[in-house]
Amino acid sequence: MMYHIVIKGRLDQSWSEWLGGANITSGIDENREMITTLTVKVADQPALFGILDRIRDMNLLPISIESIDTV
């Protein structure tokens, strides 16, 4: 399953491996605030929660989590 996880703030690609091999892109949202989007493939729900736990441990604020249909 693929997910887009949007967080407030900026992360660079160096965090990719620690966050499950996520593709990391940063930008500015409509409110002119820095956001980062993680696009990551996870094997199951516990793997997703592991990534979310790491985001929490880094004191980052998740904005949205969206499942991406890969069919």
Which domains does the chain possess? 2-68 (3.30.70)
Q: Which residues of 46-62 are buried (b: 16+ CB within 10 A; e: fewer)?
A: eebeebbeebeeeebee
**42 burial type by CB count under 10 A (0-12 exposed, 13-18 middle, 19+ buried):** middle
Walking along the chain (71 residues) 10 residues at a time, the average pLDDT comes out as 96 93 95 96 95 95 91 58
Task: Give the model's pLDDT for residue 71.
Answer: 58
pLDDT of residue 60: 94
Q: How far apart are CA 34 and CA 11, in angstroms?
A: 10
Q: Is 18 helix (H, G, I), strand (E, B) or coil?
A: helix
Instruction: State the pLDDT at residue 33.
Output: 95
Q: What is the pTM of this model?
A: 0.89
CA distance 15 to 1: 20
pLDDT of the residue at 69: 76
